[in-house]
Amino acid sequence: MPDDAPPLSLTLHPRIAEIPAAEWDGCAGDGNPFVSHAFLSALEDSGSVGGPRGWLVQHAVLRDEAGRMVGCAPCYAKSHSQGEYVFDHSWADALERAGGQYYPKLQVSVPFSPVPGPRLLMREDAGVPCAALGEGLAQACRQLGCSSVHVTFCTEAEWHALGQAGWLQRLGTQFHWNNPGYASFDDFLGALSSRKRKQIRRERRDAQNAGLGIRVLRGREITARHWAAFHRFYRSTTDRKWGRSAYLMARFWPLLGERLGDAVVLMLAERNGEPVAGALNLVGRDALYGRNWGALVDMPFLHFELCYYQAMDFAIAHGIGRVEAGAQGEHKIQRGYLPQPTFSAHWIAHAGLSRAVADFLARERPAMLQEMEELATLSPFRRDCSEAE
């Protein structure tokens, strides 16, 4: 900050309940539900985050000289690197082999949610740059004796601002589906090559003819019975994929529905009226965000139908411009989800580790860009279609 900048103060808070929702959301805005006071409080009040779970709440609040809140950030002191989706295990191993201590670290993110969006939440009318909040976080890191600060899945603007302030910059990849204004799902299919169009029609037909009923529930339509079933689906996924206890507690889902209302959309498959699979989505200003999925049955293409095609149907029907279907999954490309960069910024106190990570990232970034270019060549869109551009 310039020498003549007004003084700012940063405080850390062990519970978001200490921060008035109106003040937090005045900084967060209404574009991305994952950084809302409602979402973050549901995580805390359900016991899904906290010290025993390795996510010690340390939400940052930046105030000006008059005491007005001008910025904030969802922040956690971490004793491990689980649930983040931007992997730094090798950095931790390197520092600990050198005799240092990587944990605790400060993580500026939305727990268990690889959803791009703002992380340094600044009041638009405050005139304070987001780098000021980054500077405060670095100072807090030193005072707390943490090794580093990691701002993950941030916006590109935040990434550039922190990079200019000396933070290390990292790129990742996700796969998003863009809706240029399709009138129907068939309109989207018309933009694809003939072979891909036939493939998707076959997948949808097989999934929808598997003896299951598919429903889309929103807000109050989702009952306690649906949430109890969805937690079973979620646990079946975490137990099968990772073989460890799930982070999100059963109480989280109904709290989420209660606090976010119509922003919550559940794609549900039922057999004889009983839920057997589901995919959870949140609605933002410009995007539908697919988050969690699970099933008690194993049926061909059911995952694609609930997680991808039903989300696209919903986005088309509601004029939503984008579907973000979560982390990883090159198989999404053939279903119209194309590669997009994701951004993270890192401040590391240890000079030697910082130099080593900077060297690694300088080689990783161009490799990531090249990989995205190569993945984009697998696009299913016709060459004469603007979606292929």
Phi-psi map region of 133: left, alpha, beta (phi>0 left; psi -120 to 50 alpha) = alpha
pLDDT band at 389 (very low <50, low <70, confident <90, very high): very low
Q: What is the average pLDDT across 233-260?
A: 86
What would be the CATH architecture of the domain defined by 9-173+341-376?
3-Layer(aba) Sandwich (3.40)
Q: Is the pLDDT of residue 342 over 80?
A: yes
Q: List pLDDT tens digits, range 264-314.
A: 999 999 999 999 999 999 999 999 999 999 999 999 999 999 999 999 999
Least Cα distance to 188 among 83, 336, 288, 341 occurs for 336
| pTM given for the model | 0.95
Vertex 79 angle, CA 149 and 84, to 5°: 65
Q: List pLDDT tens digits, range 357-383.
A: 999 999 999 999 999 999 999 999 998
| DSSP 8-state symbol, 191 | T
Per-residue three-class SS string for 294-340: EECCCCCCHHHHHHHHHHHHHHHHHCCCEEEEEECCHHHHHHCCEEE
Please, which residues bridge with residue 293 across strands?
Answer: 279
Predicted local confidence at residue 388, as pLDDT: 40
104: preceding bond cis by omega (within 30 degrees): yes
Q: What is the average pLDDT across 252-274?
A: 97
Domain with CATH 3.40.630.30 in the chain: 9-173+341-376, 180-320
Rounded to whole angstroms, the Cα distance separating 306 from 314 reads: 11
Classified as helix, coil or strand, 133 is: helix
Classified as helix, coil or strand, 353 is: helix
Contact in structure between 170 and 344 (CB atoms under 8 Å): yes
Classified as helix, coil or strand, 72 is: strand
Question: Which stretches of 54-193 are DSSP H helices?
Answer: 89-97, 130-144, 156-164, 185-189
Q: Is the pLDDT of residue 108 over 90?
A: yes
Rounded to whole angstroms, the Cα distance separating 289 from 280 reads: 9
pLDDT band at 246 (very low <50, low <70, confident <90, very high): confident
Predicted local confidence at residue 328, as pLDDT: 77
Q: What percent of the chain has pLDDT over 90?
A: 90
Predicted local confidence at residue 4, as pLDDT: 57
Predicted local confidence at residue 386, as pLDDT: 47
Rounded to whole angstroms, the Cα distance separating 287 from 199 reads: 26
Q: Is the pLDDT of residue 316 over 70?
A: yes
List Cα–Cα distances, 370 to 28, 93, 236, in angstroms.
33, 27, 36
Least Cα distance to 176 among 116, 107, 250, 246 occurs for 116
Predicted local confidence at residue 25, as pLDDT: 98
Least Cα distance to 72 among 136, 115, 116, 149 occurs for 136
Predicted local confidence at residue 387, as pLDDT: 46
- Homologous superfamily of the 180-320 domain (CATH): Gcn5-related N-acetyltransferase (GNAT) (3.40.630.30)
List Cα–Cα distances, 350 to 29, 100, 147, 167, 196, in angstroms.
35, 9, 7, 13, 50
